[in-house]
Amino acid sequence: MQQAVQYQSGASTSGAAPETRYETILSASESVFAHSGYRGATMREIAERAGVAQGLIHYHFKTKEDLFEAMVARRSGHINDQRAHSLTLLFEEHENPTLESIVEALFRPTIVAGISQAGDGGAFARILVSTANSAGEWEQTLTEKYYDPIAHKYIAALVRIEPRLSRDNAVWAYMFAIGVGMTMMAKTGRAGRLSEGLCDDGDADIMLSKIVPFICAGIRALTD
Amino acid sequence: MQQAVQYQSGASTSGAAPETRYETILSASESVFAHSGYRGATMREIAERAGVAQGLIHYHFKTKEDLFEAMVARRSGHINDQRAHSLTLLFEEHENPTLESIVEALFRPTIVAGISQAGDGGAFARILVSTANSAGEWEQTLTEKYYDPIAHKYIAALVRIEPRLSRDNAVWAYMFAIGVGMTMMAKTGRAGRLSEGLCDDGDADIMLSKIVPFICAGIRALTD
DNA sequence: GTCTATAGTTCGATAGAC
DNA sequence: GTCTATCGAACTATAGAC
């Protein structure tokens, strides 16, 4: 009897689809890592959240570091596949896609995935923030492995459709765009607090209608 | 009579002035918290870095949480005083200050302070990123206490000089601006890696020349 | 104020039954 | 594959000498 390896992603806690214990642990770790950070999260809490014995996590993932990386790999793989696919489509369908369409292709998958996470919107985005913004060697290796490839694709797309954007400014533009997206997706509650409830981050289209024009105007300001 | 001069020349921020043990511990905690995060940092490591016994930290600061808050309070107080002062000056000297001058007043103190940190540029910025981007109750309380007041001042300044900017868009604009600044100040090495060394984040004026036009154009794109 | 020593807790990981 | 039980290490915080 083998495992039926069906990489059904999505994997939110609102379970219609049946999950293997392996996948249940991954989903549980996502919530706990997001809430407490890598170091603050404990294997005990993850096991409790997943409804399994603590020893089972070590059977499947060996160590805490490996569990974290497996969780990042599953989620980032799904989102970055969508991004790469959207980007390819854009250049197949148009000679010169608009900057707006490219920026939207960058953010829509993450925002939609974040919002569709039942109960814990922004969980994975918060993990990304703390990982990508760490200067630690391990964290930067993870970022390089799972996020630099798609970053290079977008930077190349930017210089292609905006010829007056120098390569270093394109890199800055990408970094800035990611930074803007982080504040939008992390859902810390600060925007709502500062605006006394005026700012709502629960609707993907509203969010994109703020973030896309902001970033596109910023990028164009960096062209020579 | 002064106290004995035998202070350990630990890794303090600016090398010359002698510090009390209290201040030495605060500076050491800044480095360690920045490198390992709040939970990853240990009192033993902070004590070692500061060149004092571990027990002394508890004598001065009682708990790890209190030490962290004292560290945030010292550093944020200094930077935010500069920001508030610059903002007041701008409105005293001009009827309508430019958007550029306001955005620069927001970022210059942090960037300059980050660069002038001997050896560990971006240390405090990285602490801010992980604190402000956490959804935890304690972290958001700290953000509210030490950073929301200056945020409200800047949001008010934005709506004052850009009357066509709605209040909720001003809040989004401020959040986005902070997000952009984070990627600039955290100094993770990613920009250099993605650009194969082209992007240099060591010069305050170069950094401001990228970040200020980007953010100002983004904000103007959110006006009606 | 500053130190040494340690109490009391919690963690990641392993061993072994089923 | 999954569970229970537990080991050894590392942590925060305290007690008490000086």
Please state the rounded mean pLDDT for residues A60-73. Answer: 98
Across the interface, do A37 and B210 touch by the CB < 8 Å criterion? no
* Contact residues on chain A for B210, CB-CB shorter than 8 A: 169, 172, 176, 222
Q: Touching check for B97 and chain A: CB below 8 Å?
A: no
- Beta-carbon count within 10 A of B222 CB: 23
3-class SS letters over A69-97: HHHHHHHHHHHHHHHHHHHHHHHHHCCCC
| Residue B210, CB-side half-sphere exposure with 13 Å CA sphere | 26
Q: pTM of the full predicted structure?
A: 0.91
Q: pLDDT digit string (tens) for A150-201?
A: 999 999 999 999 999 999 999 999 999 999 998 888 889 999 999 999 998 7
Q: Are A14 and A119 in contact (CB under 8 A)?
A: yes
DSSP A138-173: HHHHHHHHHTHHHHHHHHHHHHHH-TTS-HHHHHHH
Looking at chain B, which residues constitute the CATH 1.10.10.60 domain(s)? 1-62
Indicate the SS3 state at residue B120. Answer: coil
Q: Touching check for B216 and chain A: CB below 8 Å?
A: yes
Please state the rounded mean pLDDT for residues A34-53. Answer: 97
Q: pLDDT digit string (tens) for B75-109?
A: 999 999 999 999 999 999 999 999 999 999 999 99
B172 touches strand C (CB under 7 A): no
CATH of B73-221, one of 2.40.50.140, 3.30.460.20, 1.10.357.10, 3.10.270.10: 1.10.357.10
Q: Touching check for A203 and chain B: CB below 8 Å?
A: no
Contacts of B70 (CB under 8 A, 6+ apart): B26, B61
**Which run of H or E residues covers position B202?**
none
**One-letter identity of residue A65:** E
Q: Are B155 and B147 in contact (CB under 8 A)?
A: no
Distance from C-alpha of A129 to C-alpha of A119, rounded to nearest angstrom? 19
Give the mean pLDDT of chain B: 90
Q: Exposed (0-12), middle (13-18) or buried (19+): which is A115, by Cβ within 10 Å?
A: middle
Looking at chain A, which residues constitute the CATH 1.10.357.10 domain(s)? 73-221
**Position B3 pLDDT exceeds 90:** no
- Residue of B137, B147, B174, B190 best to disrupt the A interface, most CBs of A under 10 A: B190
* Contact residues on chain A for B186, CB-CB shorter than 8 A: 133, 135
Q: pLDDT digit string (tens) for A76-118?
A: 999 999 999 999 999 999 999 999 999 999 999 988 887 777 6
Higher pLDDT, B32 or A11: B32
Q: Phi first, then psi: give them for residue B163, nearest 5 degrees.
A: -60, -20
Angle at B71 between CA B45 and CA B156, to 5 degrees: 145
Residue B217: which of A175, A198, A217 has the nearest Cβ?
A217
Across the interface, do A133 and B144 touch by the CB < 8 Å criterion? no
pLDDT at A112: 83
Q: Assess if CATH 1.10.10.10 describes domain A1-62.
A: no
- For tokens 């629960």, what's the residue? A202
Token reading at A59: 């059977």
* Contact residues on chain B for A183, CB-CB shorter than 8 A: 133, 175-176, 178-179, 182
